């Protein structure tokens, strides 16, 4: 072109604005201008075109979202310091949306519009790099269809490629609080109601012609909530033998070991060691009336469930009755020789405790926190 360059109208305007000599060039209308400084003019054209390029809006989102009745919808984008935000919004059916808000996280409201149908080219300047929330609130029962477009204009070339994507991380916070809590506790326990007791029971003839008793009665007072009970006994003419056997009586302890949380002994009762014995006796389970008759040596009735005759020792389980005074009548069946007898009685009780008590509980709260690439969190941006 022999030292001639084409200059656009925008470039000519810039040259005139700066009061520079205008070079000769072909304008769009093909008129010629004297060309005094072509190199300077060429540089100004490049700078002007670069400036135009840097100011082009970058589209971040252009979408439609349905906001259900009485709900919110939110979108998040990151912006670099110096950015300009351009925001457009419309409700596609021309219905009002209660609130449209642009907020700089964590909690700085930058723009709020109420009962709006349309927002055109709302522009905001970003003072510092951060995350912005765009919130659409619908207070109506019916849904709203919201179209929006979000753009950014970078302040300079260094932020032109800024990553506006927002990432999320989950944070867990653990605290301990004290709360009242209803409780119900069930406890099965083996309770000793007749400790190891020893008796000498005379023979029938000695009791009649000499002194002493051939029968004794042991009261059995069952505690409340008894579900079953047991007695252990041994008999012998030799007192030393009885003393030796009773030194190993531990019925309550043995039952506690095989008692499970449901109160069920199961086959464990068969595993209990039966005590040894040397001479037999009779033991009858009696009610109050028949206990008196037994003691008076007249005809009486007994409960077969807990009665044992002609046994020298044993462990006996009684499941019923449980709600009346009971007695164990012990008799020496030998007419000529007295015997020593030892007995122990243990009840299995079921107790229920209910109420309220304070308990310390661990409370774990889960929070999702937004952050930008290369930054720990939205809060960090504000520091």
Residue 30 has pLDDT above 60, yes or no: no
Task: Please give the torsion angle defined by the CA atoms of residues 12, 18, 21 and 26, in that order, rounded to the nearest 10 degrees.
Answer: -10
Q: What pLDDT shows up at residue 335?
A: 87
More confident residue, 194 or 23: 194
More confident residue, 206 or 335: 335
Burial classification of residue 169, based on how many CB atoms lie within 10 Å of its CB (0-12 exposed, 13-18 middle, 19 or more buried): exposed
Say what percent of the chain tops pLDDT 90.
69
Among 24-38, 235-249, 256-270, the range scoring the smallest mean pLDDT is: 24-38
Cβ–Cβ under 8 Å, residues 316 and 306: yes
Helices 9-17 & 38-54 angle (0-180, nearest 10): 110
Map residue 47 onto helix, strand or coil: helix
- Quote the tokens at residue 353: 């405790």
Residue 33 has pLDDT above 80, yes or no: no
Question: In whole angstroms, what is the distance from residue 362 CA to residue 349 CA?
Answer: 35
- Average pLDDT of the chain is 85
Residue 16 has pLDDT above 80, yes or no: no
Residues 6+ apart with CB under 8 A from 58: 151, 152, 153, 154, 160
Tokens 């490629």 correspond to 161
CA 266 to chain centre: 36
Q: What pLDDT shows up at residue 95?
A: 96
Residue 32 has pLDDT above 90, yes or no: no
Strands 97-104 and 130-138: antiparallel
Q: What pLDDT shows up at residue 24?
A: 41
Tokens 């060691």 correspond to 273
Burial classification of residue 150, based on how many CB atoms lie within 10 Å of its CB (0-12 exposed, 13-18 middle, 19 or more buried): buried
Q: How confident is the model at residue 163 (pLDDT cuts 50, 70, 90)?
A: very high
Report, as an integer, the average pLDDT of 75-87. Answer: 97
More confident residue, 301 or 324: 301
Report, as an integer, the average pLDDT of 353-371. Answer: 93
DSSP line for 305-339: EEEEEEESEEEEEE-S--SS-EEEEEE---SS--E
Q: What pLDDT shows up at residue 129?
A: 96
Cβ–Cβ under 8 Å, residues 33 and 24: yes
Cβ–Cβ under 8 Å, residues 90 and 117: yes
Q: What pLDDT shows up at residue 361?
A: 93
Map residue 235 onto helix, strand or coil: strand
pLDDT tens digits, residue range 116-150? 999 999 999 999 999 999 999 999 999 999 999 99
Residue 246 has pLDDT above 70, yes or no: yes
Say what percent of the chain tops pLDDT 70.
79
Among 48-52, 131-135, 269-273, 365-369, the range scoring the smallest mean pLDDT is: 48-52
Phi-psi region of 115 (alpha: psi -120 to 50; beta: other; left: phi over 0): left
What are the chain's domains?
5-54 (no CATH), 58-165 (2.60.120.380), 185-354 (2.60.120.380)
| Alpha carbons within 13 A on the beta-carbon side of 210 | 13
Report, as an integer, the average pLDDT of 305-332. Answer: 93
Q: What pLDDT shows up at residue 9?
A: 39
Question: In whole angstroms, what is the distance from residue 106 CA to residue 369 CA?
Answer: 10
Q: What pLDDT shows up at residue 374?
A: 84
More confident residue, 180 or 4: 180
Among 59-73, 270-284, 365-379, the range scoring the smallest mean pLDDT is: 365-379
CA 172 to chain centre: 14
More confident residue, 265 or 85: 85
Other CB atoms within 10 A of residue 162 CB: 18
Q: How confident is the model at residue 211 (pLDDT cuts 50, 70, 90)?
A: low
Residue 22 has pLDDT above 80, yes or no: no
Looking at mean pLDDT, say which of 18-27, 199-208, 332-341 comes out highest: 332-341
More confident residue, 381 or 82: 82
């Amino acid at each position: 072109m022999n030292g001639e360059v084409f200059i656009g109208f925008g470039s000519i305007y810039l040259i005139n604005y700066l009061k520079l000599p205008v070079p000769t060039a072909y304008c769009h209308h093909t008129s010629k201008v004297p060309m005094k400084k072509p190199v300077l003019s060429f540089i100004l054209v490049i700078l002007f075109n670069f400036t135009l390029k840097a100011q082009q809006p970058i589209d971040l989102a252009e979408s439609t979202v349905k906001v259900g009745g009485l709900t919110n919808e939110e979108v998040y984008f990151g912006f670099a310091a110096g950015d300009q935000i351009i925001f457009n919004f419309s409700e596609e059916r021309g219905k009002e949306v209660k609130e449209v808000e642009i907020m700089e996280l964590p909690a700085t409201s930058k723009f709020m519009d109420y009962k709006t149908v349309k927002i055109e080219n709302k522009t905001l300047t970003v003072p510092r790099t951060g995350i912005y929330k765009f919130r659409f609130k619908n207070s109506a029962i019916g849904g709203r269809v919201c179209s929006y477009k979000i753009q950014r204009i970078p302040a300079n070339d260094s932020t032109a490629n800024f990553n506006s994507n927002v990432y999320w991380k989950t944070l867990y916070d653990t605290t301990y609080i004290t709360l009242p809590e209803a409780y119900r506790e069930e406890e099965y326990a083996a309770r000793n109601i007749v400790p190891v007791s020893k008796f000498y029971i005379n023979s029938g003839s000695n009791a009649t012609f000499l002194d002493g008793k051939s029968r004794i009665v042991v009261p059995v007072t069952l505690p409340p909530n008894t579900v079953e009970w047991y007695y252990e006994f041994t008999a012998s003419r030799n007192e030393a033998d009885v003393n030796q056997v009773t030194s190993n009586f531990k019925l309550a302890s043995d039952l506690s070991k095989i008692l499970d949380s449901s109160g069920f002994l199961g086959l464990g009762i068969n595993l209990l060691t039966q005590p040894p014995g040397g001479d037999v006796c009779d033991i009858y389970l009696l009610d109050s009336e028949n206990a008196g008759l037994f003691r008076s040596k007249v005809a009486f009735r007994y409960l077969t469930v807990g009665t044992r005759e002609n046994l020298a020792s044993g462990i006996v389980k009684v499941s019923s009755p449980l709600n009346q005074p009971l007695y164990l009548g012990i008799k020496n069946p030998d007419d000529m020789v007295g015997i020593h007898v030892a007995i122990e009685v243990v009840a299995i009780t079921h107790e229920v405790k209910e109420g309220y008590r304070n308990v310390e509980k661990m409370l774990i709260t889960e929070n999702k926190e937004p952050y930008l690439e290369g930054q720990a969190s939205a809060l960090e941006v504000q520091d």
